[in-house]
Copies of this chain bind each other. A is one copy, B any other.
Amino acid sequence: MTGSTGPGLRDLTATRGLLYGGDYNPEQWTAEVWAEDVDLMVAAGVNLVTVGVFAWSRIEPRPGERDFAWLDRVLDLLAGAGIAVDLATPTASPPPWLAHDHPDTLPVTADGVRLSQGSRNHFCPSSPTYRAHALAIASDVVARYADHPAVVMWHVGNEFGQVCHCDACAAGFRAWLRARYGDVAGLNAAWATTFWSQAYSRWEEIVPPRAAPYLINPTQRLDYRRFCSDTLLELYTAQRDVIRAAAPAVPVTTNFMGFFPHVDYWSWAGALDVISDDSYPDPVDPDAPVLAALTHDLMRSLAGGPWLLMEQAVGAVNWREHNPPKTPGRMRADALRAIAHGSDGVLSFQWRASRAGAERFHSAMLPHAGVRTRLHRSVRELGTDLAALAPVAGSEIRARVAIAFDWSSWWAAEEPGGPSARLRVLPQVLSWYRPLWRRGLAVDLVHPEADLTGYDLVLAPQLHLVTDAAVANLRAFTAAGGTLALGPFSAVADANTAIRTGEFPAPFTDLLGAGGQEWCPLPDGGAHLDLDGHRYPVHTWAERLEASSAVVLGRFAGADLDGAPAAVRSPDGRLLYLAAVGGDDLLEAWVATCLEQAGVTPSGQVAQPPPGVEVAVRGDHTFLLNHTRTPVAVPLTRACRDVLTGTDHPHTAPVPADGSVVLIERQP
């Protein structure tokens, strides 16, 4: 499901090194400003900008008209300065006239409210009218600029993620279901519609999961999420195909949004030539670096190699409730982390801060206060650093550990009406990932049906839904000597989110030598878990297991679970199971156990990162990001050179407070 068949990122970076730049919205500015922008971009080391994302109404101010003159001039200007362009099909935000003339293009909420123009993204993905207009404008943009020398990448739409509940979507949903299930009887079986008298007699009775009196059929909801993701993919693919026909040598992308809940990126990855992502770690959340690293690893895994940080912020965003800015040190660390985890560039939203509109308070590479600002100085310094890091471009990361993650499983696990709404998938994944991140270990994310060859350890922190194919794949992995560790509430549901009955995790209890009888969400106060002579608090969730042949690694202490198995290992040592949710200390111990069981040990130039220092290795480069407010000396296993300063460090590498350095092994 990963990898791409078309032209890719390597072609771009081979000559340019790491890509640097951001969104550029010239339609907001006069031609005088364009000229200044290009000069300032060159001064800042910018070599790639994304143009045209929100330009539909500028290009087609009235139905059927086309105004390309301004864009011709902008692209020529950029080309003249040697700045490459990632050109967008401007389909993310239709002009107001489309909404007015064709209200059927507007999206509808689950409550039946048809949303209005005045914002952005106001389209129904199923609307034939929207589709026709979007394809027409995209085709004309492609036709005009397919051969423009500035255009080195195409950017389809923006942040695909719309969800709509209108009648066109209902019709599309039925067609999707018909393709999946064949006939109504098949659908009734898959959806278990004998429950609550939900059996359908004809396709037309089926509607999206709109507002209803109580819990909606969970398979209906799950399939609607799948349908929405697939429908958006159709929108993307239609535009991509237009581009491929006109410009087969230019790679096509669209910007992902990390662990975005409405689109299954595994199913999309193969349709993109370049995997690109928008990443906005919260500068005041101490967990944000961990989540950012995890998300970058997801992107690299989707790409099967280098990817591209398409959007980030150099300072504050404007869409959280409270938006502290980044320090220059944090800005640089965020950029270098992305490189360290496989990005071949750093693009920001946006080049020049908007004077007006809903994002006027979003930071930009060129802020309102102008060039002589701390922020812009940092932007230029980063441009210099990235140029110096050109050799990193295209290099690979090899992971022995993988985390199994799947959108269908995420959706199924968090359906309303489960044992606990407090058990959430991403926090679980993050808690299992953090000990790996702290060690600077490379981690891939994998679809549970993907080829697992080459991994020593696969973690499945909360893989709730497993298809039969996934079960077979994971079992084959352990049979081949791999180590698999399952977290709580895993392997509970099948592809239709029906429960796999019997003791849980039902498809694995024979291997495990243990089985669970009850999910036990914990009352406030939680309980404890004794593991390896230590007692750890557990909270939110536990499970009642009984072990037969399994080795009991840990037991619960307290509450109704006193003495019951909490962490077990199969007799052959290849399968581990943790039946609880715990804090950082417990997960540190648990993941250490898993690594030891799998024989995975850290390698590289830093054996043991000091507290507060993040380490990541890409190819022969080691990145050290100091999140503390004091300078740190990081012990090295081998003599290294600081790539940016040229200084050699035989034993320890100094990292300034709030600073980041990049090392390479010193050539003897």
Enumerate chain A interface residues (CB-CB to B < 8 A): 25, 27-28, 54-58, 61-62, 90, 92-97, 99-100, 107, 109, 111-122, 162, 191-202, 204-207, 209-220, 284, 315-316, 318-319, 321-325, 327, 353-361, 367-370, 373-375, 417-422, 496-499, 501-504, 515-524, 544, 560
Bound: A367/B90 CA distance, A: 54
Known: A120-B196, A215-B119, A355-B501. A560 touches B419 (CB 8 A): no
In the assembled complex, the CB of A316 is this many whole angstroms from the nearest CB of chain B, namely 6
Residue of B nearest to A196 (CB): B120
Q: Do B54 and A498 touch (CB < 8 A)? A: no
A/B interface sample: 19 pairs, CB < 8 A: A54-B196, A58-B199, A95-B201, A107-B213, A115-B213, A117-B212, A118-B209, A120-B214, A121-B214, A162-B213, A192-B354, A196-B357, A214-B358, A217-B358, A318-B417, A325-B521, A359-B417, A368-B501, A370-B502
In the assembled complex, the CB of A467 is this many whole angstroms from the nearest CB of chain B, namely 15
Contacts of A196 in B (CB 8 A): 54, 93, 119-120, 357-358
Contacts of A199 in B (CB 8 A): 57-58, 61, 95-96
Residue of B nearest to A206 (CB): B96
Contacts of A56 in B (CB 8 A): 197
Most buried by B among A120, A200, A319: A120
Bound: A370/B506 CA distance, A: 12
Known: A97-B202, A205-B96, A324-B523. A498 touches B356 (CB 8 A): yes
Q: A115-B212, A216-B358 are in contact. List 15 more A-B contacts (CB 8 A).
A: A28-B194, A54-B197, A58-B197, A61-B201, A94-B197, A96-B201, A115-B213, A119-B213, A316-B419, A318-B419, A321-B422, A325-B519, A361-B418, A361-B519, A369-B517
In the assembled complex, the CB of A185 is this many whole angstroms from the nearest CB of chain B, namely 10
Most buried by B among A109, A197, A367, A369: A197
In the assembled complex, the CB of A189 is this many whole angstroms from the nearest CB of chain B, namely 10
Bound: A356/B199 CA distance, A: 13
Contacts of A213 in B (CB 8 A): 107, 115, 119-122, 162
Contacts of A90 in B (CB 8 A): 197
Bound: A216/B93 CA distance, A: 13
Please tell me how many copies of the chain the complex holds: 3
Bound: A57/B198 CA distance, A: 6
Known: A162-B213, A373-B517, A523-B284. A420 touches B322 (CB 8 A): yes
Nearest 9 A-B pairs (CB), nearest first? A195-B357, A192-B356, A119-B212, A215-B358, A356-B498, A57-B199, A96-B205, A116-B210, A93-B197
Bound: A400/B93 CA distance, A: 52
Q: Quick one: which of B205, B321, B324, B360 contacts A498, CB cutoff 8 A?
A: B360
Bound: A217/B219 CA distance, A: 38
Q: Is the interface of A mostly helix, strand, loop or mixed?
A: loop
Bound: A219/B356 CA distance, A: 8
Contacts of A120 in B (CB 8 A): 196-198, 213-214
Residue of B nearest to A516 (CB): B369
In the assembled complex, the CB of A519 is this many whole angstroms from the nearest CB of chain B, namely 7
Known: A96-B205, A367-B518. A192 touches B355 (CB 8 A): yes
Q: Do B195 and A356 touch (CB < 8 A)? A: yes
In the assembled complex, the CB of A55 is this many whole angstroms from the nearest CB of chain B, namely 7
Q: Do A99 and B205 touch (CB < 8 A)? A: yes
In the assembled complex, the CB of A205 is this many whole angstroms from the nearest CB of chain B, namely 4
Contacts of A421 in B (CB 8 A): 321-322
Contacts of A195 in B (CB 8 A): 25, 28, 54, 354, 356-359
Q: Do A521 and B322 touch (CB < 8 A)? A: yes
Q: Do B119 and A214 touch (CB < 8 A)? A: yes
Contacts of A519 in B (CB 8 A): 316, 325, 361
Q: Do A520 and B357 touch (CB < 8 A)? A: no
Q: Do A122 and B356 touch (CB < 8 A)? A: no
In the assembled complex, the CB of A598 is this many whole angstroms from the nearest CB of chain B, namely 29
Bound: A542/B461 CA distance, A: 41
Contacts of A355 in B (CB 8 A): 192, 498-499, 501
In the assembled complex, the CB of A222 is this many whole angstroms from the nearest CB of chain B, namely 11
In the assembled complex, the CB of A284 is this many whole angstroms from the nearest CB of chain B, namely 4
Q: Quick one: which of B92, B214, B319, B499 contacts A356, CB cutoff 8 A?
A: B499
Residue of B nearest to A352 (CB): B501
Bound: A486/B99 CA distance, A: 43
Q: Quick one: which of B94, B319, B544 contacts A417, CB cutoff 8 A?
A: B319
Contacts of A373 in B (CB 8 A): 517-518
In the assembled complex, the CB of A643 is this many whole angstroms from the nearest CB of chain B, namely 27
In the assembled complex, the CB of A443 is this many whole angstroms from the nearest CB of chain B, namely 29
Known: A119-B216, A195-B356. A200 touches B96 (CB 8 A): yes
Bound: A251/B517 CA distance, A: 38
Q: Quick one: which of B28, B207, B315, B359 contacts A118, CB cutoff 8 A?
A: B207
Most buried by B among A195, A217, A522, A560: A195
Known: A120-B214, A316-B521. A419 touches B361 (CB 8 A): yes
Q: Do B116 and A27 touch (CB < 8 A)? A: no
